[in-house]
Amino acid sequence: MPLSAQLELPRTLPIAGARRLAGRAAVSAALAAAEDDAQRRQRKQMSHAARLAAAVIQGALSAAGWTDGRETTGAFLGVGGSGAELAELTALLAGSTADGRFSLRRFGERGLGAANPLLAFQLMNNFTLCHGAIQCGLGGPSGAFFSRGAGTVAALAAAAWAIIEGQCPRAVAGGADSALHPVTLAELRRAGALGAGLVPDEGAAAVALAAEAAAAEVELVACAVLPGEHEGPQPDSALIASLDPLPLRSALQAALATAVLAASEAVVLSAAVPQLRDFLAAELHRALPRIACIERDAPGETLAAAPALALGQAIELFAHPAHGGLRQAAILSIGLDGELGVVAVRRRA
Amino acid sequence: MSEVVITGVGVVSPFGIGLAPFFAGLRAGGCAVGPIRHFDASALPVQVAGEVPLPFRTCAPCALPLMQLCQTRLGIILDERSQAALYQADHAGALADRKVVFATLAALEAWRDAGCGEAERRAPSYLGLGLELGLLDDLTDLLDAQGGGPLDFDRDRGEPLVRLRAPVDLGASVVRRLLGLQAAAVVNVSACAAGALAIADAAALIRRGHAQVVLCGGADSMVNPLGLGGMARLGAPSPRAAADACRPFDRRRDGLVIGEGAALFVLEAAERAAARGARVYARVLGWGSTQDGYRVTAPRPDGSQAARAMQQALRRAGVSPDGDAVGYINAHGTGTPLNDPAEAHAIAAVFGDRTPELPVSSIKGAVGHLMAAAGALELAACLLAFTDDLLPGTAHHREPDPDCPIRVLGPGPQPARIEVALSNSFGFGGQNACLAIGRPRP
Amino acid sequence: MSPLARAAIHGWALRTPLGSEPEVLLARLLAGERAASPCPMYDASSYPCSLAAAIPVPPLASRRRKFLPRMGLYAVEVGVAALAQARLRVPQLATLAPERLGLFFGYGGLRAPWDELMVAMAEQRSDLEASWERGLRHLHPFFMLQQLSNNAHALCAEEVLARGEGVTLSGPNAGAQALASATAALAAGAVDAALCVAYDSLLAPEVLIEQGLRGALTAARTVEELRAPYDPEAAGAVPGEAAAALVLVREDWPMAPLAYVRAADGADAGAGGQQGPAGRTLARLAQLVLTGPVSVVDGAAQAVSAADRAELAALESAEILTADARLTATLGSLGQVGAAAPLVQAIALATALRAGQLPPVAGLAAGRAAGAVRLATGAMATAARAALALSAGARGFGGAVGIEIEGASHG
């Protein structure tokens, strides 16, 4: 199947609403404001990323005005690694030591008991999605996709196709993650990503997609993940598949040659490190010199949240008075997974 | 739209390495649950599991033992490129996670079984994978290095503070490099529904014409201290350290048993499979996905959303629940007090008057709950209905529960010739998936 | 009482002409099988010795194939397999620091790789003129790597991540030397675990020719003509091949081992007859590894009448046998396996003791004993928990291994 057919959706989907939290400051403010009593009680079951996800899922639903029909609304999210709260882990470890070293026996006899009994609900990756889905009463199809970028675009595509193929009339899709989790941060440091210019941050974003949404101003036109041509050995870091842009050159050039991207007037670039961003910008400039290249406004790398934040940013362009004439925008994202995410949105006629 | 068929199967289960021991275990009505052997679980609240009998430790270099296992048990000899990929993965520490080893073995078996090679290198892969391993190991190393004091992640050291040994998608990455796959890998982490959802997504991809061949399935291992301990704190596993700890749909049930393993499939467009004369195990007819949206700690007691998932699968398959097309349901059947009746009510809601005669079984009593791999392994179990005209039994089910008003097969397999089977996966967090598969066309 | 420390065996693996699993090997030994057949590797029908016992399964396919000859591949295989088993049995081994795991290799010595050499040498002149063009250029680029004495050791170290002290030894009793070195290193605390590997093949043409002419190898043309070791009319052994590995730790580790082992090696310049060590040399080595009289002996099985008689006489006079002692001969079934013998015998004996069964001297008819020591002429039950294995090599080299299983009394 030609790339354009894979990239472009067979029908456009209105984006009825969106919500995004970009960066640590925005996250903190939003979380403090958003919690009610029930959510505070539920907090001990939720990882930090789950709280972010719940906030943007709720926000997207509110922005779309979807107060009913939630039992058939789907939810698809790009999620990051285990989000266990450090306080729980340190309590668990503190109870598991003998003579200053970890003891499996102490772990079983004492350490486990020192942690929150619902720790598993923080650990399990899908609960980043499920807490928000449960809080909002979503009952449609769902998918939690592991993501360092591309998985979130896959989640978006899964949501789009679920609607197109009639699995559900509506779906929320996005990503939530924190590169500031100490375990993740330590690995990023060890893998040399920080030295390569990666700025760790956190965030979340979600869009509300629908088969029909009369009031929507923007619609989803294209969405796909394009793989890189990676050869060579397994990388030493488990977290970073590749920071080398060259394996993605063919995929990017092919994508830029498609009609759907050529029709875009602006592109939001989301890249994990500066060299990937520069690569995107250079190839874009070569292939589509007239296109406006826009840096993502969340400069830090938010892993699973990054493409969703960029999508949210692109959607906001259409509402900005300075872009009154904007007809179509695209998002190009490259995360630590070495794959290219391509999304295109268009102003509805 | 293309019809989707299964042309290759690879399995690693507590019954052994390969599809053959898995089928042999099911045919014999056996049970592979037993004391945990690959680490000292004596101090943990859970001491039995469905453990894969891997003949080497993955925490030590294991590329050569893994290759030897491929050769001796699966009859697969890796070419130079694959050997190099395996050694590189081992050197990078990627094989330390047991589920990565399981995914590797299952992928190799499925790929060879389907007769795939260079022509299929553009196949995407959709894998359901579970929690990353190593989080506890990473932190305990850090703790030891700091002399047991409070964890300090910000201290600047020359050596890495923490090493994430096995993030969730590592298995997919290793499999891609091993088989030389060039297309994207999508990793579904929807807990107990992950494997089934990955297969559904793969089938959808072929049906809409975006791919001709897809590698899909699930691999998981929560048979480790944090996995078992975390589950134990939830109260999900049975407190009994016995082989019959998990008794699906039995009146005496008191919890699940955690298992580990992998099942991978090669899904293919039917016309492509026919053109190359490939063996077809089954047709993937339909799938359904819903969420309970109810509570974190429990499924919907009425099973209404689970029922909707089954109805969606049947609708997509073009099969009515009223007729006799559906001949068997492989239940999620975890053996927990809450899940089993909820699922039973869901089945009854879908099949109505047919419910008392419709055979249902769960293999979780025999192999444990494989979490992200459960849906995939249980789909493999359904294939026995088409290869052997045999429905897998329900290990340790001896006393039916009036709260589960469905026809649950006993421990032994039952001969039956059926046309359509359903496989249910209802995951933690309320994610529900149902797959419908059909007998291959004559 | 033996002055030697004993080590605990927690993993083992082998490749032999009668099987690659200890239990399979024992079953075939108990059945009295002999691995001898007309040499399957090449046409040796015109050689002084034409019978051989070859490992029937090829080495597993491995990327090491370019760097190792056939026996070297087996060596790496058994080393990795033994360590994988040991790591399963003893979790501490899985997390042992690489610097504390030592490798101790013993192999029989370089054998001429005839297939490759013939290509390179067939057209050579005696004055070596234009030797490169005449054939040396056809040598595989890795030819020298394949001939390096310690290549298997190095590649095995890479496979199992071993960076501790170790050694590669070469010669007819290199297996016993390696085993003795390993146990000494453990006792000295130089390493915490030792992987000991021994491998050898006597199937090379030059060995069949030389040893056949010396009378050390049988001239029988068929298995039916073959005389068993300790038969008064025995006239030469069958050449064989094997690779075997043991994983050893100090005996103070808490886990119950597969068996315990002591090893000793020695030589007497072939004073004992045509080739092998004198009987008294073997007896002396035996005394080094035993803590008391034993009732089970796996003899050197040289199958040369004089040497066999000398061995039995020396054992009897050294008072290291119990009154009800029986002698078996693993090497009589497998063929002489050179440097690999001590490790193969250790595994076979330990497996036999654990099963409570003693194999016979294969092919030895009842009543044809060569001396006063009673030979096992049929499979029999045994309650023995200790045993002695003896091996003899060319030029007077010898080895002795003492095996004990749990429940054996020791000093």
Model confidence over C172-221: pLDDT tens digits?
A: 899 999 999 999 999 999 999 999 999 999 999 988 888 888 889 999 99
Mean of pLDDT values over C351-365: 95
Provide the pLDDT for residue B139. 67
Give the mean model confidence (pLDDT) for residues C246-263: 94
Residue B32 — very low, low, confident or very high, per pLDDT cuts 50/70/90?
Answer: very high
> Any idea what DSSP says for residue B352?
G
Give the model's confidence band at B4: pLDDT under 50 very low, under 70 low, under 90 confident, else very high. very high
Give the helix, strand, coil percentages of chain B, each rounded to 5: 35, 20, 40
- Cross-strand partners of C389: C298, C401
Greater pLDDT, C147 or B415: B415
Cβ–Cβ of A108/B225 closer than 8 Å? yes
Average pLDDT over residues A277-284: 94
What average pLDDT does this structure show over B252-273?
97
- What average pLDDT score do residues B300-329 get? 96
What does C37-72 look like in DSSP terms, one character per residue?
A: EE-SSS--TTSS--EEB---SPPPP-GGGGT--HHH
Specify which of A113-117, B249-253, C212-216 reaches the highest per-range mean pLDDT: B249-253
Quote the CA–CA distance of B218 and A7 in Å, as a whole number.
Answer: 26
Judge whether A23 is closer than 8 Å to chain B, CB to CB. Answer: no
Least confident of A114-128, A138-152, C150-164, C313-327: A114-128
Q: Pick from B184, B208, B296: which is nearest to A339 by CB?
A: B184
Nearest CB neighbour to A117, from listed B189, B191, B234: B234
Of B151, B190, B210, the CB nearest to A90: B151
pLDDT computed for residue A33 by the predictor: 76
The answer to whether the CB atoms of A226 and B230 lie below 8 A apart is no
Dihedral (CA of B194, B198, B201, B203) sign: negative
Judged by CB atoms closer than 8 Å, whether chains meet at B61 and C160 is answered as yes
In chain C, residues with a C-beta closer than 8 Å to the C-beta of B72 are 60
**Domain C7-110+149-404: CATH class, spelled out:** alpha beta
| A161 contacts in chain B (CB < 8 Å) | 204, 208
If pLDDT is split at 50, 70 and 90, which confidence band does C411 have? very low
pLDDT of amino acid C373: 77
Is B408 in a helix, a strand, or coil? strand
pLDDT beyond 60 at B158 = no
Q: Which of B61, B65, B84 sits opposite C63 (nearest CB)?
A: B84
Give chains near A: 3+ CB pairs under 8 A.
Answer: B
Q: If you average pLDDT over residues A165-170, what whole number do you get?
A: 96
Q: pLDDT > 90: what percent of chain B?
A: 76
Two structure tokens written together for C365: 């008819």
Computed from CA positions of residues C183, C189, C195, C199, in that sequence, does the dihedral angle turn out positive or negative? negative
Q: Residue B165: what pLDDT?
A: 52
* Rounded Cα distance, C98 and A153, in Å: 43
State mean pLDDT over C138-142. Answer: 83
Instruction: Measure the CA–CA gap between B380 and B21, rounded to whole angstroms.
Output: 12
CB–CB contact A108 B89 (8 Å): no
Which of C:278-317 have CB within 8 Å of B? none
Q: Which two tokens stand for residue B135?
A: 């989080």
Q: What residues form DSSP beta bridges with C104?
A: C167, C196
Asked whether the predicted pLDDT for residue B138 surpasses 70, the reply is: no
Chains adjacent to C (≥3 CB pairs closer than 8 angstroms): B
Best to test chain C binding among B38, B39, B57, B83 (most C CBs inside 10 Å): B57
Task: Tell me which of B56-60, B276-280, C187-191 is least confident.
Answer: B56-60
| Phi, psi dihedral angles at A202 (to 5 degrees) | -140, 160
DSSP string computed for C319-378: T-EEEEEEEE-HHHHH-B-GGGHHHHHHHHHHHHHHHTEE---TTPPTT--SSSSPB--S
Q: For residue C251, what are its two tokens?
A: 């005996």
- CB contacts < 8 Å between B and C, how many? 54
The dihedral sign for the CA sequence B377, B49, A145, B102: negative
* pLDDT of res. C29: 97
Burial class (CB in 10 A: 0-12, 13-18, 19+), C268: middle
Cβ within 8 Å, pair A238-B45: no
Residue C319 — left, alpha, or beta (φ > 0 → left; ψ -120 to 50 → alpha)?
left
Please determine, for residue B34, whether its predicted confidence score (pLDDT) is greater than 50. yes
How many angstroms separate the Cα of C267 from the Cα of each of B270, C5, C197? 72, 21, 21
Q: Is B14 exposed, middle or buried (0-12, 13-18, 19+ CB in 10 A)?
A: buried
Q: What is the pLDDT of residue C237?
A: 96
- In this prediction, residue C3 has a pLDDT band, given cuts at 50, 70 and 90, of confident
Instruction: Tell me the β-bridge partners of C259.
Output: C9
Indicate if the pLDDT at residue B358 is higher than 90.
yes
pLDDT over 60 at C371, yes or no: no
Average pLDDT over residues A278-305: 92
Q: Residues B233, B185: contact at Cβ < 8 Å?
A: no
- B149 or C168, higher pLDDT: C168
- CA atoms of B95 and A34, how far apart (whole Å): 42
pLDDT band at B155 (very low <50, low <70, confident <90, very high): very low
> Of B57, B61, B71, which has the smallest distance from its Cβ to C159's Cβ?
B61
Please spell the DSSP secondary structure of B149-188, one letter per residue: S---TT---SS-S----B-TTHHHHHHHHHHT--S-EEEE
Query: What's the pTM value of the predicted model, to 2 decimals?
Result: 0.88
Looking at beta carbons, which residues of chain B come within 8 Å of C60?
67-68, 71-72
**Alpha helix ranges (H) inside B318-414:** 339-351, 364-367, 374-382, 384-387
Determine what percent of chain C is predicted with pLDDT higher than 90: 65
* Three-class DSSP category at A89: helix
Most confident listed range (A78-82, A316-320, B239-243): B239-243
> How distant is the Cα of B224 from the closest Cα of chain A, in angstroms?
11
C114-149 as b/e: b if 16+ CB within 10 A: eebeeebbeeeeeeeeeeeebbeeebeeeeeebebe
197-236 in A: which are within 8 Å (CB) of B?
Answer: 225-227, 229-230, 233-236
Instruction: Report the pLDDT averaged over residues B284-312.
Output: 94
Q: Read off the pLDDT band of A123 (50, 70, 90).
A: confident
All residues of chain B having their beta carbon less than 8 Å from the beta carbon of residue C159 are 61, 63-64
A165 with B204: Cβ contact below 8 A: yes
Instruction: Write down the pLDDT at residue C410.
Output: 45
A105 touches chain B (CB under 8 A): yes
Check CB contact of B40 with chain C, cutoff 8 Å.
yes
- pLDDT score of B91: 86
Q: Which of B179, B175, B182, B167 is nearest to B217 (CA)?
A: B175
Give chain C positions within 8 Å (CB) of B40: 91
Contacts of B77 in chain C (CB under 8 A): 61
**pLDDT tens, position by position, B315-342:** 999 999 998 999 999 999 999 999 999 9
Q: Which residue ranges form the domains of chain B, and what is each CATH number?
A: 4-149+167-275 (3.40.47.10), 287-438 (3.40.47.10)
**Spatial distance between the Cα atoms of C12 and B7, rounded to a whole number of angstroms:** 40
Tell whether C94 is within 8 A of chain B (Cβ). yes
**CB distance from B431 to chain A under 8 Å?**
yes
* Record: contact B139-A93, CB cut-off 8 A: yes
User: With an 8 Å Cβ cutoff, are C63 and B87 in contact?
Assistant: yes
Q: Give the chain B residue whose CA is nearest to the CA of A143.
A: B190
**Taking CA A56 as the corner, what is the angle to CA A54 and CA A58, rounded to the nearest 5 degrees?**
65
Q: Pull the structure tokens for residue B141.
A: 């190393």
* Interface predicted TM-score (ipTM): 0.94
pLDDT at residue C243, as a whole number: 98
Range 226-285 of B in CB contact (< 8 A) with A = 226, 229-235
Position C274 scores a pLDDT of 55
Subunits with 3+ Cβ pairs within 8 Å of B are A, C
- Measure the CA–CA gap between B281 and B8, rounded to whole angstroms: 8
Answer whether B297 touches A (CB < 8 Å).
Answer: yes
Checking if the pLDDT of B157 tops 50, the result is no
CA distance B106 to chain A (A): 19
Work out the average pLDDT over A137-165.
96
| φ, ψ dihedrals at B34, nearest 5° | -165, -175
* Residue B379 contacts residue B263 (beta carbons within 8 Å): yes
Nearest to A120 among B84, B182, B233 (CB): B233
Interface touch B153/A150, C-beta < 8 Å = no
Residue A265 corresponds to which amino acid?
Answer: E
Res B94: pLDDT: 86
- Does the distance separating the beta carbons of B293 and A139 come in below 8 Å? yes
Mean pLDDT of A241-252: 88
3-class DSSP assignment, residue C206: helix
Helix, strand and coil content of chain C, in percent to the nearest 5, comes to 35, 25, 40
* Length of chain C, in residues: 411
Q: What is the mean pLDDT of chain C?
A: 90
Which range is most confident: A119-133, B252-266, C264-278, C364-378?
B252-266
Nearest CB among A141, A150, A234 relative to B92 is that of A234
CA-CA distance, B21 to B27, in Å (whole number)? Answer: 10
CA–CA separation, B260 and B377 (whole Å): 10
A210-225 burial code (b ≥16 CB/10 A, e <16): beebeebebbbbbbbb
Q: Is the alpha carbon torsion for B363, B368, B369, B375 positive or negative? A: negative
C243 to chain B, minimum CA–CA distance in Å? 16
Contact B68 C63 (CB under 8 A): no
- Domain boundaries defined on chain C: 7-110+149-404
Mutation target to probe the B interface, by most B beta carbons within 10 A, among C10, C12, C20, C62 is: C62
CB of C378 within 8 A of CB of C355? no
pLDDT in tens, A7-61: 999 999 999 999 999 998 888 888 887 666 666 667 777 888 999 999 999 999 9
Whether the predicted pLDDT of C369 surpasses 70: no
B79-126: pLDDT as tens digits: 888 998 999 888 888 898 899 999 999 999 999 999 999 999 989 999
- Most confident option among B296-300, C213-217, C388-392: C388-392
Q: What is the structure's pLDDT at C270?
A: 63
Strands A218-226, A8-22: parallel, antiparallel or unpaired by DSSP?
antiparallel
- Least CB–CB distance from B150: residue in A81, A90, A190: A90
Q: What is the CA radius of gyration of chain A?
A: 20
Decide if pLDDT at C48 tops 50. Answer: yes
Subunit contact A120:B429, Cβ cutoff 8 A:
no
Percent of chain B with pLDDT over 70: 92
Contacts of C81 in chain B (CB under 8 A): 65, 68
What CA–CA distance (Å, rounded) separates C186 from B343? 59
Q: Annotated active-site positions of B, please?
A: 192, 332, 369
CA-based R_g, chain C, Å: 20
Residue found under tokens 């700890």: B245
The answer to whether residues A249 and A32 touch, using CB atoms and an 8 Å cutoff, is: no
pLDDT, mean of residues C366-371: 60
Q: Quick: pLDDT tens for B165-216.
A: 557 888 998 999 899 998 889 999 999 999 999 999 999 999 999 999 999 9
Q: How far apart are CA B65 and CA B69, in angstroms?
A: 6
C residues 49-78 lying closer than 8 A (beta carbon) to B: 60-63, 76-77
Q: Which residue has the higher pLDDT, A240 or B277?
A: B277
What residues does B12 pair with on adjacent strands?
B17, B262
Report, as an integer, the average pLDDT of C144-154: 84
**pLDDT value, residue C138:** 86
